[in-house]
Chains A and B, each alone.
Chain A
Amino acid sequence: MFLNDWLITPLRVIWDDWRARVGGIIILLYVLMGTIGVVLISEPRPGDGPRLIRPFQDWAHPLGTDINGNDLFAQTVHATPPMLEMIVAGAVFTTALAMVVGTLSGYKGGIVDRLLMTFTDILLTIPGLPLVIVLALVLDPRQPWVVGVILTINAWAGLARAIRSQVLTIREEAYIEAARLMGISTWRILLKDITPSLMPYVLVNFVNAARTVVFASVALYFLGILPDTFLNWGVMMNYAYSVGGALYTSGTAHWLFVPLMTIVVLSFGLILFAQGTDRVFNPRVRARHASQDDLEPGEDDMSGEVATQIRG
């Protein structure tokens, strides 16, 4: 029963949507790359192979090598685990903080709400990248998870806002008042009655935060603002750009384009997944899958709402 409600049915619904299916597979591939991949593929070392092999030429080095003969595929794979760590740290930080601030603000109201929202609005207005850069310089983070948190330092504000306005709406629903009158504790109401309605937002924003982390970390490593204490696709790009002069030296372009494509594909997978999964949280769709009941067409399409939620 529990398994069916919370695992099997949602998975079936996800699988039903091609966007979620493709996106899910892509994400899974990256996760495999970061877990099993690092075991299977040995760490890149200078002089592994000849210098600057182009991709798809030599199957010992499927994506080619850089100027030192480092295997690019191995570099890409071994940059994945810290990236995953950053993503998870950033996304969890964003989502958790936004949930706490948003629900607290919406559910409590009054002065708590005013203070929290003013603070949120200010964070929301400060442009993210410059702030992150300044913080990164001052704090000089070296662990992936710290980097992840710094990169999303103000990414949670938008989500907190969205959650608050959701909570405000839901709070007025009759069933919440009924639950309160039944003497059910605030925590249980939040857990049982409010959070399920917030899940689509949370999921979409979890994925957004992941994208923010990927984009920003690569950018900062690429610019050399973050210390290159571990491998990153951005570090690869930085070397290709500065050491290899990939933009104007012939034969080095692939060095830059391999990490580039790695980012684009991951980000594409994340967006597709978010676009597709939001149906999981729609009880109409879930009921249909559980009981094969058929319902009016078109009632399950919420993709428009999700689209509004995904921002650069």
Chain B
Amino acid sequence: MTEPEPTTTKMGRPVFEVEGASVTYDMDRGVSRVLDDATIDIFEEEILGVVGESGSGKSMFASSLLNAVPPPGTLDGEIRYHRDGEVIDLLGLSPEQLRRVRWEDVAMVFQGAQSSFNPTISIRRHFEETLEAHEYDIENGLEHARQLLADLYLDPERVLGSYPHELSGGMQQRALIALSLVLEPDVLVMDEPTAALDLLMQRSILSLLENVKEKYELTVVFITHDLPLVAGLADRLAVMYSFKFVEIGRAEDVFSNPKHPYTRALLNAIPNLDTPRSRMHPIEGSAPDPVNVPTGCSYHPRCPLADEQCEAAEPPLAETTDKHHAACYYWEEAMEEIELSIESDEPAVDDTVVGRQSDEPVVSVDAVDVHFEQGGGGLFGFFSDPDTVHAVDDANLEIYENDVVALVGESGCGKTTLGKAIIAAQRPTNGTVRYRGQDIWGTRDGRVDGEIPWEQIRRSLQMIHQDPGSSLNSHRKIKSSLEDPLRRWHPNMDPGDREERILGMLEYTGMSPPTDYALRYPHQLSGGEKQRVALIRALLMNPDVILADEAVSALDVSLRLEMMDLMLELQDAFDTSYVFISHNLSNARYFAGNADGRIGVMYLGELVELGPVDEVIDEPLHPYTKVLKWATDDMELSDRIEDPPIRGIDIPDPVNPPAGCRFHTRCPEARTVCREESPSLDEAVSAHPTACFREYPMEHPYWDSEPVDDAEETVTGDPIDAG
């Protein structure tokens, strides 16, 4: 790609020129080309976002920039790196020269921070050995490291003195970013650096990253599957599909005016807070296998505009309009025919969904606490005091028939535990859970002699788990796993009928030919397919309530809508309710909104806001909900990444939750009163109750109280420092 001297943007000189880079692996089944002829320039001090779904070759591109393709892969083509006017051919370097370039000039951050650290040595040692290996001055280097850690909102001394496992996921990821910057590189390549984290943490890290990038004059290559996440951060975006770049351009162009049919479809498939729900659509079909890429344009099997030319020859990545490249013959048609949901002319209102909720609750949760004991163990465990984790405190919630309740919050906020308490998978420490008015655990223990037997309660409350990999027994064929519920509850069912039932469900959920799927082992299924099998297994019980625990989070963005649509469709057919757990407000909005459900927001074990979907999303009341909304994918580019509206990035320890309002340590609106008194969520007061003094209907001392001063907070918050 020969680019004339840029005129309009802030693009400076290129730091990287990548030309025809390809990565291949020889496999039994043939040559697998996992990066195909990548050509792109990366400019000084820009943030380039590289977007693609899993298996699009984006990680290979990241590794190629350090000439660090995992063996036995081979990297061909040309990658030139510019260092102060000097041009370095990355593929022609001696091992020692390459060693120098890596980390001193180009550093990399990986996805799993936990697995990126050596578990047996301290964080400080990681910094020291890196400095030693590159003959940097250790003292100055550590000083720089402390600065970096502080820039990333970490307590430098504490982090340096810790072992990796002693830090939370978000802290590890930030420590890893600091480690990658300790040698002051020019370029930072980040491969899905935040994918394993909560949205709020992701957003927070991104906003810190922007500051760090400005401060240290970095060029950042940010690789992700999450297009809206980088859209606000990046200067330019490059979209990958099937191991190639299919579209490259300025971020605002690609995001608001995409030209490649794939990018357009991808944008329409992403659940978000702005687009009317009715206009989000999944992408049909699935991404190609690296050994078996379709001829011509590799997107043609899924592209609505495909014709013979597309099947015959591969479209080049060509400039369409100013600095905006796309690999498609019909990009102009695409812009007309594939309407972007966000800019549709239709009125941006959803058809009012009328819920079919019953009047009487199926499950009601009454003042439920769930506490866990941590630590201890062994007969000699009495030497260590077990810590009590307050997973859920004083939760009240009712689930109706055909209801959808989405529980959202950061990881560790107790949403899964509450969900499990609802479906009687977790015995509460205090409080009662009732099924159609009958105490569930009382029935279980034989204390309550109700009309409904325990077996019936048990089968009425089911669950779909988060991780598709572990939701099915890898030793059993699909058919055998699906037979379990039928055997258990219809022992007299004829084997032929049983099989027919299973095959019918497989077919219905789009797994055809069903006879073929039934005989497969789980590892022969994709993640989405495994989740569908788990859904079928739950539905075969004819349950009243299904707990869907982050059931779509592990799936690719474009598959999430499809799965949620399927679940909603089956809700109609099976008359079941869902408790949908997610850390992602957009998913919650899409799912619960389409059934006129509710959203419950949890923070540190407490429900802090509960209300109808649109109210919670459009007019969040609790300051924490506002923060979550800030952290959620935004389809409007106008508001660029800004500082998080929150006073601390890390969640307090649930073993010792803060006194008073639990959110007061991070709440931007906190006042002194919030430290002592705890607000409660009272459903009697309104249909959209909120546990915050600001929303109390009557006068509250909050309004006369002093705002919390951060400086003072740190001192009083940590008595050891004060002394």
A183 at the interface (CB under 8 A from B): yes
- How far is the CB of A54 from the nearest CB of chain B, in Å? 53
* Docked pose: A181 CA to B471 CA in angstroms: 13
Chain B neighbourhood of A179, CB < 8 A: 484
Least Cβ distance of A296 to chain B in Å?
A: 7
Interface presence of B474 (CB below 8 A): yes
Supposing A118-B378, A293-B524 touch, asked if A178 and B458 sit within 8 A by C-beta, the answer is no
User: Quick check: A297 and B28 within 8 Å, CB to CB?
Assistant: yes
Name the CB-closest residue of B to A297: B28
Interface status of A228 (Cβ within 8 A of chain B):
no
- Contact across chains for A287 and B524 when beta carbons are under 8 A apart: yes
* Residues on the B chain within 8 Å of A181, using CB: 423, 425, 458, 461-463
Whether A283 pairs with B470 at a CB distance below 8 angstroms is: no
Name the B residues within 8 Å of A118 (CB-CB).
378-380
A207 to B85, CA, bound (A): 66
Give the contacts of B436-478 with A (CB-CB under 8 A). 455, 458-459, 461-463, 465-467, 470-476
A contact residues around B29 at 8 Å (CB):
294
Q: In the complex, which residues 1-58 of chain B have their Cβ closer than 8 Å to any Cβ of chain A?
A: 27-29
B488: chain A residues within 8 A (beta carbon): 182-184
Give Cα A177 to B470, complex, Å.
10
Binary contact readout A4-19 vs B (1 if CB under 8 angstroms, 0 otherwise) = 0000000000000000
Q: Are B379 and A296 in contact (CB under 8 A)?
A: no
A175 within 8 A of partner (CB): yes
Q: Which of B471, B475, B541 sits near A182, CB closer than 8 Å?
A: B541
Closest CB-CB distance, A294 to chain B, in whole Å?
6
Q: What separation, in Å, do the CA atoms of A294 and B292 have in the docked complex?
A: 14
- Does B534 interact with chain A (Cβ within 8 Å)? yes
A51 to chain B, nearest CB (A): 58
**Which stretch (A34-42, A128-136, A190-198, A212-220) binds chain B?**
A190-198
B467 touches A174 (CB 8 A): yes
Check if B672 is an interface residue, CB within 8 A of chain A. no
Q: Which residues of chain B from 372 to 411 have a CB within 8 Å of any chain A CB? A: 377-381
Cα distance A145–B258 when bound, in Å?
A: 77
Across the two chains, which residue of chain A brings its CB closest to B473? A175
Cβ distance B498 to chain A, nearest Cβ, rounded Å: 15
A175 touches B471 (CB 8 A): yes
Q: Nearest chain-A residue to B472 (Cβ)? A: A175
Q: In the complex, A261 Cα to B471 Cα: how many Å?
A: 50
Q: Which residues of B contact A180 (CB under 8 A)?
A: 425
| Known contacts A177-B465, A183-B459, A196-B475; is-contact A297 B27 (Cβ 8 Å) | yes
CA distance A291 to B476 in the complex (A): 15
User: Are B425 and A114 closer than 8 Å at their CB atoms?
Assistant: no
Q: Do the beta carbons of B379 and A184 come within 8 Å of each other?
A: no
Asked whether B647 is an interface residue with its Cβ less than 8 Å from the other chain, the reply is no
Known contacts A114-B377, A283-B475, A284-B521, A182 near B28 by CB under 8 Å: no
Check B431 for interface membership: any CB of A closer than 8 A: no
Minimum CB–CB distance for A298 against chain B, Å: 10
Contact with A along B502-545 (1 / 0, CB 8 A): 00000000000000000111011000000000100110010000
Which residues from chain B contact A184 at a C-beta distance below 8 Å?
484, 488
Pairwise interchain contact A178-B537, C-beta atoms closer than 8 A: yes
Any A CB within 8 A of the CB of B141: no
- Provide the residues of chain B in CB contact with A197, threshold 8 Å: 475
Contact partner of A296 (CB less than 8 A), chosen from B27, B425, B467, B474, is B27
A286 to B423, CA, bound (A): 36
Closest to B480 in A: A192
- Name the A residues within 8 Å of B523 (CB-CB): 283-284, 287
With an 8 A cutoff between CB atoms, is B481 at the interface?
yes
The answer on a CB contact under 8 Å between A178 and B474 is no
- Which A residue sits closest to B534, measured CB to CB? A178
Q: How long is the Cα–Cα vector from A29 to B537 in the complex, in angstroms?
A: 47
B556 to chain A, nearest CB (A): 20
Contacts of A177 in B (CB 8 A): 425, 463, 465
**Is A117's CB within 8 Å of the partner chain B?**
yes
Shortest distance between the CB of A174 and any CB in chain B (Å): 3
* Minimum CB distance partner of B29 in chain A: A294
CB of A291 to closest CB in B, whole Å: 8
Contact A283 B459 (CB under 8 A): no
Q: Considering the chains assembled together, what is the distance between the CA atoms of A263 and B716 in angstroms?
A: 73
Query: Are the CB atoms of B458 and A183 closer together than 8 Å?
Result: yes
B384 to chain A, nearest CB (A): 13
A117 and B541 CA atoms in complex are apart in Å by 37
Docked pose: A291 CA to B534 CA in angstroms: 24
A197 to B522, CA, bound (A): 14
Taken together as a complex, chains A and B put the C-alpha atoms of A217 and B380 apart, in Å, by 36
* B381 close to A173 (CB less than 8 A): no
Is the C-beta of A115 less than 8 angstroms from some C-beta in chain B? yes
Q: Does B668 contact A (CB under 8 A)?
A: no
Asked whether any CB of chain A lies closer than 8 Å to the CB of B301, the reply is no
Per-position 1/0 for B414-435, Cβ under 8 A of A: 0000000001010000000000
- Closest CB in chain B relative to A289 CB, distance in Å: 12
Whether A174 contacts B470 by the Cβ 8 Å rule is yes
Kindly list chain A residues whose C-beta atoms are within 8 Å of the C-beta of B485: 182
Q: Which residues of A contact B28 (CB under 8 A)?
A: 294, 297
Check B521 against A178 for contact (C-beta < 8 Å). Answer: no
A178: chain B residues at CB < 8 Å are 462-463, 465, 471, 534, 537-538
Residue of B nearest to A196 (CB): B475
In-complex Cβ contact of B379 among A115, A183, A281 (8 A): A115
Which of A115, A174, A193, A293 has most B Cβ within 10 Å?
A174
The answer for the CA separation of A192 and B463 in the assembled complex, in Å, is 20
A193 vs B524: C-alpha distance in the bound complex, in angstroms?
A: 19
Q: Known contacts A114-B381, A192-B476; is A182 also within 8 Å of B462 by CB?
A: yes
Rounded to whole angstroms, the CA-CA distance of A181 and B520 in the bound complex is 24
Residues of B within 8 A of A291 (CB): 519
Closest Cβ of chain A: how far from B523's Cβ, in Å? 6
The residue that B521 contacts in the complex, of A174, A183, A281, A283, with Cβ under 8 A, is A283
Query: Please, how many angstroms separate the alpha-carbon atoms of A283 and B520 in the complex?
Result: 10
* Residues of A with C-beta under 8 A to B470: 173-175
Give A262-312 interface residues, CB cut-off 8 Å to B.
281, 283-284, 286-287, 291, 293-294, 296-297
From A183, A193, A281, contact of B455 by CB (8 A)? A183
Residue on A nearest B464 in the bound complex, by CB: A178
The interface residues of chain A lying within 8 Å CB-to-CB of B423 are 181
Q: A174-B466, A197-B475, A293-B524 are in contact. Are A182 and B425 (CB under 8 A)?
A: no
Distance of A283 Cα from B519 Cα, bound (Å)? 12
Question: Bound state CA distance, A39 and B521, in angstroms?
Answer: 46
State in angstroms the CA–CA spacing of A306 and B432 once bound together. Answer: 48
Within the assembled complex, what's the spacing in Å between the Cα atoms of A291 and B523? 14
Q: CA A177 – CA B425 in complex, angstroms?
A: 8
* Contact status B481-A175, CB under 8 Å: yes
Distance from B200 Cβ to chain A, minimum over Cβ atoms (Å):
25
Cα of A175 to Cα of B377 in the assembled complex, Å: 26
Chain A CB count within 10 A is highest, among B423, B461, B523, for B523
Contacts of B27 in A (CB 8 A): 296-297
Chain A residues with CB below 8 A from B425, complex form: 177, 180-181
Min C-beta distance of A105 to chain B, whole Å: 12
Chain A residues positioned under 8 Å from B380 (CB to CB): 118
B46-82: which have CB < 8 Å to A?
none
User: Which residues from chain B contact A115 at a C-beta distance below 8 Å?
Assistant: 379
Q: Is the CB of B521 within 8 A of A287?
A: yes
Complexed CA–CA distance, A117 and B534 (Å) = 35
Q: Could you tell me the distance in whole angstroms from the C-beta of A206 to the nearest C-beta in chain B? A: 19
List chain B residues, Cβ under 8 A from A173: 470, 473
* A contacts, CB < 8 Å to B: 114-115, 117-118, 173-175, 177-184, 192-193, 196-197, 281, 283-284, 286-287, 291, 293-294, 296-297
Which residues of chain B have a CB within 8 Å of any CB of chain A? Answer: 27-29, 377-381, 423, 425, 455, 458-459, 461-463, 465-467, 470-476, 481, 484-485, 488-489, 519-521, 523-524, 534, 537-538, 541
A sample of 10 cross-chain residue pairs with beta-carbon separation below 8 angstroms, ordered by A number, consists of: A117-B379, A173-B470, A174-B466, A175-B473, A177-B463, A178-B534, A182-B462, A283-B474, A293-B524, A296-B27
In the A-B complex, list the 7 residue pairs whose CB atoms are closest, starting with the nearest: A174-B465, A118-B379, A196-B475, A183-B458, A174-B471, A174-B470, A173-B470
